Each structure stands twice: as structure tokens, then as C-alpha cells.
Structure 1
Amino acid sequence: MPSWRSWHRPLVVFSAVMALGAVASAVGLAVDDRVLVDAPIWAKPFKFYLSFTVYGLSLAWMLAQSTRGRRTGWWAGNVVVATSLVEMAIITGQVVRGKRSHFNVETPFDQALFTAMGITVIVLWAATLVIGLLLLRTRFADRATAWAIRGGVVIALVGAGIGFLMTLPSAEQRAGGMENPDVIGAHSVGVPDGGPSMPLTGWSTTGGDLRIPHFVGMHALQLIPLFLIALVVLAPRSARFRDAGLRLRLVRVVTVGYAGLVALTTWQALRGQPLIRPDAVTLVATGVLLVAVAAGVGVALRRPPAPAPVQQKSEPRESEPSFRSKEFTA
């Protein structure tokens, strides 16, 4: 594994800045009692700062693994930094003004800011796609590492792409039935934003919420590689996990299962169904996914480990001294 000193430096610095922003937002949560769309006004930037912290570190580490197009990857990482900083500046600035950052078209200025955010998100997604393509072309010595990194990037791109669905006018907005005409787009499906929600996440408890698959998908970038790291950490303590073939099979199962989870939560949200109130069809689909993942893990664990290659002892050459010769025997 490359040293942490070889990580993409601008992304590392960016992550440190985002961590400081999360601390500042936490202070805002403690001292600022303003509420926006039925949530503490500093909750959104706090969650975004935290998310960008881990997102930036993940990309910085992954770019260090790349062996193809390193200069292109360096510039793509810089684009991620620049666009993310613009987005967070807009989100934070709107909080200071007491305004919504997302879906706000109340004034020409608010609309311009929301449009700028949309452009930065598209450019950010494209830069991440470039990084993903470079990683797809990279040759990894360990196949499980290749699967974890590539699978995490691909699923994260899908999760980020789900965010574009939120910017589209909802069915109520298209019908002209929304109470607030200054808003275009929504997190929730089937209900207005700002209704009853889950603690911490703010996800709707009365309708679908596209932030759920967006969140789950984007954090595949961290969770799937972390799963592999856990297997590697367990290897010295368990002979089973020293088998590279077993680690590869388990990572494959988890990657496919994670992709299924993103698809399932997206399907549930688009049907206007709260995460915590699944209907019978969703429960059956969840059960099928869990059984499939469990079966995959079982098959992976039952397969015998690949036999270690047998190393043949080479005969000592005449020109080299043998430790069995008289000069080296007591």
C-alpha cells in the first residue's frame, strides 16, 4: 500500500478544512436556535461538512493507488476540491442569510445560487467519474482491493447521480398544487419537505425520501473498502481470512449486496414510502436481498482455500559454499 504521504495533498487539506467546518457548524447548532424547513438551520451544513470530510479522504487514498493517468487524476482531484468548496460556500452563506440553499428560487439571487450549485455538482460528479475510470484501468496486485475500490467508486457515482432526481419538480409542483411557489425540487416524495422526520438524519417519516439512497450510495466509497480492511485486520488472527481468494469472494458478495441495497432504497423512496414504514412488497424484497447475501457469504466460506504454492529447494551451486560443507560444520 502506498504511504499516506503519497495521498492527494489538496484533497487531504480540503478534508481538514471540511472537518473544521463541521466543528463550526456544531457550534452553530448549539448557539443558533433558528429553524429552517422544520430543522435546525445549521443541521444541513453540519451533515455536508462531515460527508465531504470522509469523501475527500477516501478519494485522496484511492488516487494514491492509481498507476494510470496520475497527472489526470491529480487534476480531477483538484476539480473535486474546487467545486466542493464552492458548494459549501453557498450552503454556509445561505444559512447565514437564513435562506434555503437547495431548491430555492425565491429571488433572482437565490435562483442564481441554486443554479451555480447545480453546475458544481455536475462538474464534481464528472471529476469523480474520471477518477473512477482511472481506477478501473489500474492494475492492483490484490484482486479484492481492486473490487473494493472499483465497486465503491461505481456505486458512489450512482448514489451521487440520484441527487439529480431531487432537483426535478415534484408531481405536486408540476400540478401547481404546492403551497410555496418559490421552491422547485424536493427531497421528499409524496409529501412536502419539512414534515415529520427521523432524528439526526432528518429523513421523512411520512413519505419517500431520496436522500436515503443518495446517502447510502455515496458512502459505498468508504464502507466497501473498510469491509476489506476489516478482513485484512482479521487475517493475522484467523487463518480463514489469510486466504486472498476468500477475501475476494466476500468483497464481491458485499459489493453486489450493497448495490442491491441502493436499488432497494431508491425504489422505496420513489414509491413515496418512508424508510421505517415498509409495506409487504418492500419487506419481501428486503428478505430476498438478505437471503441472497447470506447465501453468497455461505458459499464463499464453504469453498476450501486455494493451496499454497510449493517451493522447491534449489541445489547449491558449485561456486557457492554449502552450509553442510566441512568449513561450516562444527
Structure 2
Amino acid sequence: MTRVRGSGEPVRRMWAVNRPLVFTGALMVLVLAAALVGLAVDRQSITGQPAWAKPARFALSICLYSLTLMWLLTFVRGRERLVRTVSRVTAVGLSVEMALIVGVAAAGTTSHFNFTTATTTGVWITMAVFIVAAWVMNLATVVLLLSQRVEPPAFAWGLRLGTGVACLGMAVAFLMTLPTHLQREAAAEGHGMPIIGAHTVGLADGGPGLPVTDWSTVGGDLRIPHFVGLHALQVLPLIGLLLAWRPRRATPGHRAALMWIAALSYLGLVLILTWQARRAQPVTAPDALTGVALLAVAATAVTAALLVLRHARLADG
């Protein structure tokens, strides 16, 4: 049984079992620093944004993901070989992806969906293979956490459900690899498909976007549910940790129920954002249907949480 107490042992386990992820996280800090320098000195633009913006974003994201996964794996007992496999495959997969993103940015072209030349095709296919391997390792982490007895239950479910929703959020990226309507039309007209897939729905990548994230403000953008879903890896375990101590009168069962409500609501948000993006709708301009869906998820979550809290008060007498 694993309990949420004592920081010394998890830190020692992180270093003993997860050295590949420690190295990957540290390497991404260096890549982020180099990318920030590139943003300052290189005025080159790729698909309408600074050439080093994507490497900077990916370095930050991979660093956070590596360190979070490393922490999650400290709760796994009795599966040392599998833990090492997850750590190593993830570290290699993410490091290769980062190296290719940096290399392509330095060459002044785009890394994702690019079938323009044999070289860019090879880069994109290699990236896809390694990122799928990392996704499979995330799925394996879900299975590993489900097999562990972690106390308290609310925190345990925060770990499991957070990893599960993150796995779904990562899977949203597969939708980006499908040819868009515009690309299929161009291919039908005999122009071929030098680019297959896109972040944006309803128009080509590279249009107006939000600062820093570059999420489209004129079309749907699948990066949004991908981002929100992926960060369930941090958000839901944190909620589970908070529920482990609050509310005071709630039993472990009530707290676990509240954790499930939070996780299902978060999942609902990811699904709504995916649905919104697939309808080519900018996140900055939700229509009435999107608004109603968001309100329905929020109202259901609040109602369910209040019912659980009421039951907890009645049970407490």
C-alpha cells in the first residue's frame, strides 16, 4: 500500500528507477533556454509564427510531462521492469521528437504533417512512430496505477483518472493527422497533398492565433482539447490531493465520489472542446450549442457534488 506521506522515499525512487526521465526533464530545460535565445535573435517565421516558438512550447511541455510521469511512477510497486520500460521508451520517444522539431526549425520549415520532400516525410513519420510509442507508455501507466493500492482513495483515483484522461487528450492528436477537407479537394484537383493533416479545422494552419499558444482565433483548433486533456495529468492528481484532506466531515468514500465527479467533468470539458474544434469553431467564439453543453456539464457537476456533500453531512449525523 502506498500512502501520500514522506517525500524522501519518492525522491529516492525517482532517481533510482526513473533516471531516463530525470535526464529528459533536465535536457528540456536546456532546449527551452536555447529556444528562447532563438526567439530573441532569429526573426525567421514558419507558418506565420516565430521559428523557435514551437521548440520552446514543446520543450516546456515535454519537461513538465517527463517530471509528472516520473512522479506518478513512484506510486507503482512490484513492477520495476515495467516501470523502467515505461521510463526509457518515453524518454527516448520524447527526446527524439524534440531533436527533430529543433532540427526542422533550424532548417526553416515545418515539422508536423509535412510530406513535401523525402526528408520532411521521413522526419514526420519518425516523429509519429516515437510519439505513438510514448502514448502507449502512458496507457501502460494507467494500467500500472489501476493495479496499485494507494491511500487515500481520493488521491488514488486522482492519479488513475488523471492519467486516463491525459491518455485520451494525447489521442486527440491522432485527429490532427487526418487529411483536411481542403487538402482532399486539392488532391482531387490533381495538386497532390504535400501537407497531410493540420492543427486547425476549417482553414489552413498559419492564420491568426492567440499569443504564445498560437491557437486559432478564426477556426477550430484541435491543439486546445489536446492541451487541456494532457494536463489532466497534473490537474486531477492535485484535486485528489486536496480532497484527501477536505471536506473534513466526508468519509473516504465521499471524497472518492467527489474525485470521480471532478474527473468526469474534466473529461466532459475535453470532449466539448474537441467537438467545438471539429465544427471549425474558434475557442474565442463559442456558439449557443457549445455554451449550453458547457453549462450542462458545470450544472451536473455542481448538483452531483452537492448531493455527495449532503449525504456526507447526513451520515456524519
TM-score normalised per structure 1: 0.87
1:93 aligns with 2:103: yes
1:142-174 Cα offsets, whole Å, 9 max, x none, are: 211221111011111111111011111111111
AA partner of residue 197 (structure 2)? G
Shift of 1:286: 0.9
User: Given the alignment, which residue of 95, 107, 110 partners 2:120?
Assistant: 110
1:87-114 Cα offsets, whole Å, 9 max, x none, are: 0000000011111010111110111111
Q: Distance in 1 between matches of 2:207 and 2:249?
A: 46
The answer to whether the 8 Å contact 1:58/1:221 transfers is yes
The answer to whether the 8 Å contact 1:87/1:120 transfers is yes
Structure-to-structure mapping, 1:49-60, within 5 angstroms: 49-60=59-70
Shift of 1:141: 2.6
Shift of 1:242: 7.4
Unaligned runs of 5+ in 2: none
1:235-269 Cα offsets, whole Å, 9 max, x none, are: 4xx76277534432321111010000111000001
Q: Distance in 2 between matches of 1:231 and 1:143?
A: 10
1:75-134 Cα offsets, whole Å, 9 max, x none, are: 111100001110000000001111101011111011111110111111111122112211
Please name the residue that 1:269 is paired with: 277
Shift of 1:69: 2.0
AA partner of residue 273 (structure 1)? Q
Please name the residue that 2:37 is paired with: 27
User: Given the alignment, which residue of 175, 197, 207 partners 2:209?
Assistant: 197
Structure with greater contact order relative to length (CA < 8 Å, sep ≥ 6): 2
Shift of 1:175: 1.4
Between 170-179 and 33-42, the greater mean CA deviation after superposition: 170-179
Please name the residue that 2:12 is paired with: 5
AA partner of residue 256 (structure 1)? L
AA partner of residue 68 (structure 2)? S
User: Given the alignment, which residue of 234, 245, 255 partners 1:222?
Assistant: 234
Q: What is the CA RMSD across the aligned residues, in angstroms?
A: 2.1
Q: Distance in 1 between matches of 2:169 and 2:281?
A: 19
TM-score normalised per structure 2: 0.90
1:304 aligns with 2:312: yes
- 1:3 aligned counterpart, secondary structure: helix
Between 105-114 and 25-34, the greater mean CA deviation after superposition: 25-34
Between 134-143 and 114-123, the greater mean CA deviation after superposition: 134-143
Please name the residue that 2:53 is paired with: 43
Shift of 1:68: 4.2
The answer to whether the 8 Å contact 1:68/1:134 transfers is no
Pick the structure with greater CA Rg: 1
Shift of 1:181: 4.3
Q: Distance in 2 between matches of 1:245 and 1:302?
A: 13
Please name the residue that 1:279 is paired with: 287
The answer to whether the 8 Å contact 2:155/2:243 transfers is no
1:289 aligns with 2:297: yes
User: Given the alignment, which residue of 79, 85, 88 partners 2:89?
Assistant: 79
The answer to whether the 8 Å contact 2:86/2:140 transfers is yes
Q: Distance in 1 between matches of 2:265 and 2:225?
A: 14
Between 93-102 and 291-300, the greater mean CA deviation after superposition: 291-300
Between 119-128 and 92-101, the greater mean CA deviation after superposition: 119-128
1:305-329 Cα offsets, whole Å, 9 max, x none, are: 6669xxxxxxxxxxxxxxxxxxxxx
> CA 1:239/1:215 → structure 2, altered by over 3 Å: closer, same or farther?
closer
User: Given the alignment, which residue of 209, 212, 216 partners 2:224?
Assistant: 212
Shift of 1:13: 2.2
Aligned length: 304
- 1:256 aligned counterpart, secondary structure: helix
Please name the residue that 2:132 is paired with: 122
